[in-house]
A and B are shown apart, each in its own frame.
Chain A
């Protein structure tokens, strides 16, 4: 038992003193900021302006197009091009229009008696989805209105007939009903699952690299001669988990400090709460208040302890499996194929969590929150929706059992994989090895 803490202590203290750890602790919040900022910037940079020349012989359609998001519409004077199908005589004009790479030509024909329109878009380079979708929806909209008018319907009346019901959801308990917030629960569950997924991959693979390093540098010969493989693996997993949690806490503190500083300088839109990434401060003030109220109503006192349990449990289980992979290979390059069977269940549970959110009490949700390889992510997704106590208890028990088994297995593979290459593998020998004191 004592040796587990000696091993964990070494993992923790050598890693937090390493240059990579210090650099990542500082860069982490900055990178995360970039992560949030880059999509916004990318959307901005994507708005290179494009000029669309509209040829509209009927004159009924051209005013449907609004200049927006870098798309500019210009109506061509009548007679520039032929009204029907384009003919060779038009080619000189078209060439002139499309000389600018960022220009396009929308060639419309007059609507027929059923208000159908033939439209064609010409450009020097193939048109992107953004342009074609905008043009299509504007045209469809305009034709819809024209058709309504022909039927003698007032578009304003039609608009007023649209219904929009907001379904309120409640959980019935014997004490009365409680509001439940499906969307908030979904967001919360998904955020938690994402966090867990990141943690498992970042620090799980750190465990794997640590094991490979000990094998490659041959330190393990001394380690194995003094320490049980189970203690070695457990210490390594605990030590690296502490590194990860420590780093998270540092990031949280640093992130809060940075966003507070930005807020104080008046650059950010929100107050100190801006460290809750990207959700709160992008909403208008009253929506923000609503959101806060809903968040306040979530059953945090049950969610948080279970979240922590599954967060750590999931990490422990996968870290043990990563350690087993590290024990079985000689270099990081060789580990790739073996990592696939480990990565699959976690990716699967991540994908499945979307269906689980739609039906958090269905049989998919139930089984996936029982199987230890998928339960950490799936159960965390289910938590905000409320999970029966016996399911939680069973799932937690299975997770702990699977974890202990996985560490033990990893320790065995470590010993065998490191030194036993060439051993005749028979069940008898495997059993002997697994039970060697």
Chain B
């Protein structure tokens, strides 16, 4: 049974539909990547799981029970719009937020110390939030999301604003959490995050789910049957029909030249291709070229909508009211 189960959730705002009949399941211990162009409804969905906003229809279930106030203890949240009290000391903010999540003072203190050490920010306890850089504040908020050891960790663009060192630290922590049984939901625009971390993906576009499934399955689904073969030496003669000719060929310079070839070939032709080059040359490398999530995203969403920050116009609900523009 799914740990996080979202059942046909819909939500409309005054002049556009944020989500329409969206369903998804995240198994326990899975890392779900939540993808979608700007304005697709990702943040609305995340806010619903955090009980900040309610769905117009549909329901959300966590670990077999419908979402309620008691789940605050079990959810950790890193919002997209990061916010801290500017004038409050970091240590005190962390204790406060952890206690609101349901820890007692002793547990909160212990957890804050543990995570501040883990994220190499021990010396920040008495600093005020306004003294920290944006990336540093983000680390504070990450600690706030992790402190109460939640069963479900929701991160909205967790890697944006981090330098490579901190990004790797974060990645390690997330994998570690997953190994400890935490379920993760990560909303992101960075496709390398998906390829690196996520076990599952769901892509929301125009308020609905466009594709979803396990990461590898989705990649295979979008596969163009493209294979790459590297051979030693100069290009050999192309394979006879019905085998396809290479769609591109590059050769490095002598000595020890390598020829790289790409084929668009149906899987049933692959053994014959390998056979041909084994006989005429020396194969160094054979692989299927799976599409990157970058490609999948663009193919699923369509290039016409990229860069269209506000797609409310495309799924506007016809209305006699004047259209308001919101921040």
User: A interface vs B, CB < 8 Å?
Assistant: 3, 6-7, 10, 13-14, 18, 213-214, 217-228, 415, 419-425, 432-433, 436-437
| Cβ-defined contact, A419 with B327, below 8 A | no
| Cβ-defined contact, B96 with A423, below 8 A | no
Residues of B within 8 A of A422 (CB): 13-15, 324, 326
Chain B 276-290 interface mask (CB, 8 Å, partner A; 1/0): 000000000000000
Residues of A within 8 A of B53 (CB): 419-420
Residues of A within 8 A of B83 (CB): 214, 217-222
What is the CA–CA distance of A392 and B197 in the complex, to the nearest angstrom?
66
What is the CA–CA distance of A435 and B326 in the complex, to the nearest angstrom?
26
Chain B 75-112 interface mask (CB, 8 Å, partner A; 1/0): 10101011111111000100011011100000000000
| Cβ-defined contact, B50 with A225, below 8 A | yes
Instruction: Identify which of A222, A421, A433, A437 contacts B79 (C-beta below 8 A).
Output: A222
Q: Could you tell me which residues of chain B, from 308 to 327, have a CB within 8 Å of some CB in chain A?
A: 324, 326-327
Instruction: Identify which of B52, B68, B87, B324 contacts A437 (C-beta below 8 A).
Output: B68
| Cβ-defined contact, A423 with B13, below 8 A | yes
11 further contact pairs, Cβ within 8 A, besides A13-B92, A14-B87: A7-B100, A217-B84, A218-B79, A221-B52, A221-B81, A222-B77, A226-B72, A226-B97, A422-B15, A422-B324, A422-B326
Interface size class of B (residues with CB under 8 A): 20 to 34
| Cβ-defined contact, A10 with B96, below 8 A | yes
Instruction: Identify which of B13, B51, B87, B324 contacts A225 (C-beta below 8 A).
Output: B51
Closest B residue, CB atoms, query A330: B327
| Cβ-defined contact, A423 with B79, below 8 A | no
| Cβ-defined contact, A222 with B144, below 8 A | yes
Residues of A within 8 A of B14 (CB): 422-425
Residues of B within 8 A of A220 (CB): 83
Of the A-B pairs whose beta carbons lie under 8 Å apart in the complex, a sample of 30, sorted by A's number, is A3-B100, A6-B99, A6-B100, A10-B92, A14-B85, A14-B87, A213-B86, A214-B83, A214-B85, A218-B79, A219-B85, A220-B83, A221-B50, A221-B77, A221-B83, A222-B83, A222-B97, A225-B50, A225-B52, A226-B100, A227-B100, A228-B69, A415-B52, A419-B47, A421-B326, A423-B14, A424-B13, A424-B14, A433-B54, A437-B68
| Cβ-defined contact, B52 with A419, below 8 A | yes
Residues of A within 8 A of B97 (CB): 222, 226
Q: How far is the CB of A292 from chain B (nearest CB, A)?
A: 46
What is the CA–CA distance of A180 and B14 in the complex, to the nearest angstrom?
63
Instruction: Identify which of A6, A214, A432, A437 contacts B69 (C-beta below 8 A).
Output: A437
Instruction: Identify which of A218, A424, A432 contacts B81 (C-beta below 8 A).
Output: A218
| Cβ-defined contact, B85 with A217, below 8 A | yes
Instruction: Identify which of A225, A425, A437 contacts B75 (C-beta below 8 A).
Output: A225
| Cβ-defined contact, B84 with A219, below 8 A | yes
Q: How far is the CB of B137 from chain A (nearest CB, A)?
A: 11
Is B59 on the interface with A (CB-CB < 8 A)? no
Ranked 8 nearest A-B pairs via Cβ = A218-B83, A225-B50, A219-B83, A226-B100, A422-B13, A218-B81, A424-B14, A221-B79
Secondary structure of the B contact surface, majority rule: loop
Q: A419, A420, A424, A432 — which one has the most chain B CB atoms within 10 A of its CB?
A: A424
What is the CA–CA distance of A437 and B88 in the complex, to the nearest angstrom?
30
What is the CA–CA distance of A424 and B92 in the complex, to the nearest angstrom?
38
What is the CA–CA distance of A3 and B68 in the complex, to the nearest angstrom?
16
Q: Could you tell me which residues of chain B, from 1 to 26, have a CB within 8 Å of some CB in chain A?
A: 12-15
Residues of A within 8 A of B12 (CB): 424
What is the CA–CA distance of A6 and B104 in the complex, to the nearest angstrom?
10
| Cβ-defined contact, B100 with A421, below 8 A | no
Residues of A within 8 A of B52 (CB): 221, 224-225, 415, 419
Residues of A within 8 A of B75 (CB): 225
Q: How far is the CB of A235 from chain B (nearest CB, A)?
A: 10
Instruction: Identify which of B13, B54, B88, B100 contacts A223 (C-beta below 8 A).
Output: B100
| Cβ-defined contact, A421 with B327, below 8 A | yes
Residues of A within 8 A of B77 (CB): 221-222, 225
Residues of A within 8 A of B72 (CB): 225-227
Residues of B within 8 A of A3 (CB): 100
| Cβ-defined contact, A436 with B99, below 8 A | no
Residues of A within 8 A of B84 (CB): 217, 219
| Cβ-defined contact, A436 with B54, below 8 A | yes
Residues of B within 8 A of A18 (CB): 87
Closest B residue, CB atoms, query A421: B326
Instruction: Identify which of B13, B69, B82 contacts A218 (C-beta below 8 A).
Output: B82
Q: How far is the CB of A271 from chain B (nearest CB, A)?
A: 42
Residues of B within 8 A of A13 (CB): 92
Residues of A within 8 A of B13 (CB): 422-424
What is the CA–CA distance of A437 and B84 in the complex, to the nearest angstrom?
26
Residues of B within 8 A of A415 (CB): 52
What is the CA–CA distance of A226 and B108 in the complex, to the nearest angstrom?
15
| Cβ-defined contact, A217 with B86, below 8 A | yes
Closest A residue, CB atoms, query B80: A221
Instruction: Identify which of B81, B101, B326 contacts A226 (C-beta below 8 A).
Output: B101
What is the CA–CA distance of A432 and B54 in the complex, to the nearest angstrom?
9
What is the CA–CA distance of A217 and B86 in the complex, to the nearest angstrom?
8
Residues of A within 8 A of B101 (CB): 226
What is the CA–CA distance of A227 and B85 in the complex, to the nearest angstrom?
17
Residues of A within 8 A of B69 (CB): 228, 437
Closest A residue, CB atoms, query B72: A226
Chain B 45-67 interface mask (CB, 8 Å, partner A; 1/0): 00100111110000000000000
Residues of B within 8 A of A224 (CB): 51-52
What is the CA–CA distance of A217 and B315 in the complex, to the nearest angstrom?
31
What is the CA–CA distance of A425 and B324 in the complex, to the nearest angstrom?
13
Q: How far is the CB of A234 from chain B (nearest CB, A)?
A: 14
What is the CA–CA distance of A423 and B13 in the complex, to the nearest angstrom?
5
Residues of B within 8 A of A436 (CB): 54
Q: How far is the CB of A236 from chain B (nearest CB, A)?
A: 13
Residues of B within 8 A of A420 (CB): 53
Q: How far is the CB of B318 from chain A (nearest CB, A)?
A: 13
What is the CA–CA distance of A424 and B238 in the complex, to the nearest angstrom?
64
Q: How far is the CB of A360 from chain B (nearest CB, A)?
A: 46
Closest A residue, CB atoms, query B326: A422
What is the CA–CA distance of A14 and B54 in the complex, to the nearest angstrom?
32
Q: How far is the CB of A4 from chain B (nearest CB, A)?
A: 11
Closest A residue, CB atoms, query B319: A424
What is the CA–CA distance of A10 and B85 in the complex, to the nearest angstrom?
11
Residues of B within 8 A of A433 (CB): 54
What is the CA–CA distance of A41 and B84 in the complex, to the nearest angstrom?
47
Q: How far is the CB of B83 from chain A (nearest CB, A)?
A: 3
Closest A residue, CB atoms, query B83: A218
Closest A residue, CB atoms, query B12: A424
Closest B residue, CB atoms, query A224: B52
Q: How far is the CB of B9 from chain A (nearest CB, A)?
A: 15
Closest B residue, CB atoms, query A18: B87
Residues of B within 8 A of A421 (CB): 326-327
Closest B residue, CB atoms, query A15: B87
